[in-house]
Amino acid sequence: MTTDGADLARLRRFNELAVLATVRAGGELRLAQIAERTGLARASVGEVVRGLVGNGWLEEKAPVVAGRGRPAHRYAFRADAGRVLGLDIGAHNVRVQLADLEGTVLASLRHRTEPELPRTKRLQAIERAIRDCLKQGSVSSDQVWATVAGSTGWVDGDGQILLSASIPDWAGVDLAGKLRTIVDGPIVVDNDSRLAALAEQRRGAGVGVADLVLLQAGRRTGLGLVIGGRPHRGFGSAAGDLSMHRVLKWESAIEYLLLCKAEPASGPTDDHVADVLVAAAEGDAEALVAVRRYVRELGVAAAAAASMIDPEVVVLGGSMSAHTELLLPLLERELELLCLRPPTVRGSTLGADSAALGAVCLALERLDTALLATGAGPLGPLARPAS
């Protein structure tokens, strides 16, 4: 029985992808370690590694001397071959993170904005934040291989803002089009809460969880869904948006905290909501009533989502995640009352960076698809995919 060239090419590609995935997951590895983890023969691994080094996918590291014998060569993924950008665009902040092809964040910054900022000035602020982040990371725009931006509001599949409750004149902005004038490579725009949910599932409180609901709670509220390990967008990219459901009062629930006059024992700061939460944690009766009312409205919205998809975990994110000791027991109690099977409740481990990190995660996934889906033959040279 003979094997034709197409079969050999497919076999080589399969081996290359197995080796590449193993090295990316394991860091610097010796040939023997790669062979053990892939289950491939040492000779086959050596041949595949030489090809991947020649095409720029892997790099050979300096040998490490350990005891007697020849020092073993180690191989690592070429994470420095390109860069990705992750953005989080909200009413009060623009956050940008620059990462390498393994997702290691190399530069990060935040520019403050205000909800009333005109769209032209907001777009200028976004461009300035991107250029400042690239400068911080000593990277030129042509080194950016993919960019994902998370924005508050309803975003369509082409990267246009269809609706925004928190930024008055944001609807109608072609955000993807604007970003294409700033950086090269593919551009994706998505909802910020959805990207925050992805980040929690990949790197945060929901690692390894297939089904997850994220409550993005702070100055504004949002909800992101992960189903089957993937962010759920729905048919028209509106999944998770509960803003039209007037019976759910979670959009206005923050008023309970804003109108509360309680202060912490140490005195007020410039963040009144945080002051009320601290006062509640200290046992202030008025603050506790306000916090319980706030969490009750969050719980109704969370229970509505949880009852639909039966997630393993609900993650409390946003600025409220800094007060999990106070809020999580209250939220758990609400879900126990409203859900047939109450999910586990956890606080975010990523905090305010979650949406930008989720954008980085999605950029890397889109980039992997573009880089690796080049056909059934062996991998060619590592290079920026066509836009």
Mean pLDDT of 280-284: 96
* CATH label, 208-349, candidates 3.30.420.40, 1.10.10.60, 3.90.1530.30, 3.30.565.10: 3.30.420.40
Q: Binning pLDDT at 50, 70 and 90, where does residue 95 land?
A: very high
Listed range (22-36, 92-106, 328-342) with the worst mean pLDDT: 22-36
Listed range (167-171, 320-324, 375-379) with the worst mean pLDDT: 375-379
Q: Which two tokens stand for residue 336?
A: 């126990």
* CATH label, 81-196+354-372, candidates 1.10.20.60, 3.40.630.10, 3.90.550.10, 3.30.420.40: 3.30.420.40
DSSP string, 248-268: --TTTTTHHHHS-----TT--
**CB neighbourhood size of 361 (10 A):** 22
Q: Quick check: 384 pLDDT over 60?
A: yes
Mean pLDDT of 133-155: 94
Paired residues of 238 in beta bridges: none
Same topology between domain 81-196+354-372 and domain 208-349:
yes
- Taking the C-alpha atoms of residue 229 and residue 211, their distance in angstroms, rounded to an integer, is 6
Q: What integer pLDDT is reported at residue 10 of this predicted model?
A: 85
329 exposure class (CB count in 10 Å sphere: 0-12, 13-18, 19+): exposed
List Cα–Cα distances, 256 to 227, 242, 277, 322, in angstroms: 32, 19, 11, 18
Q: Quick check: 174 pLDDT over 70?
A: yes
- Taking the C-alpha atoms of residue 217 and residue 336, their distance in angstroms, rounded to an integer, is 20
Q: Quick check: 201 pLDDT over 60?
A: yes
Q: Which two tokens stand for residue 234?
A: 């729905």
| pLDDT one-digit tens code per residue, 177-196 | 999 999 988 999 999 999 99
Q: What is the CATH code for 5-77? A: 1.10.10.10
Q: Binning pLDDT at 50, 70 and 90, where does residue 247 land?
A: low
Say which residue the tokens 């034709």 belong to: 4
How many Cα atoms are found within 13 Å in the side-chain-facing hemisphere of 387?
Answer: 12
Mean pLDDT of 331-340: 96
Q: Is 96 helix (H, G, I), strand (E, B) or coil?
A: strand
Q: Binning pLDDT at 50, 70 and 90, where does residue 288 land?
A: very high
Q: Quick check: 1 pLDDT over 50?
A: no
Q: Quick check: 66 pLDDT over 80?
A: no
Q: What integer pLDDT is reported at residue 376 of this predicted model?
A: 65
Q: Quick check: 5 pLDDT over 70?
A: no
Q: Write out the H or E segment, with its range, that includes residue 279.
A: helix 272-281
Asked if 295 contacts 327 with a C-beta cutoff of 8 angstroms, the reply is: yes
How many Cα atoms are found within 13 Å in the side-chain-facing hemisphere of 93?
Answer: 18
**Domain-by-domain residue ranges, the chain?**
5-77, 81-196+354-372, 208-349
3-state percent breakdown (helix, strand, coil) of the chain, nearest 5: 45, 20, 35
Q: What integer pLDDT is reported at residue 139 of this predicted model?
A: 92
Q: Quick check: 214 pLDDT over 90?
A: yes
Q: Quick check: 324 pLDDT over 70?
A: yes
Q: Give the closest residue to 276 by CA, choosing from 238, 320, 340.
A: 320
Mean pLDDT of 267-280: 94
List Cα–Cα distances, 332 to 35, 248, 251, 258, 296, in angstroms: 46, 18, 20, 23, 10
Full-prediction pTM beyond 0.85?
A: yes
Q: Quick check: 40 pLDDT over 50?
A: yes
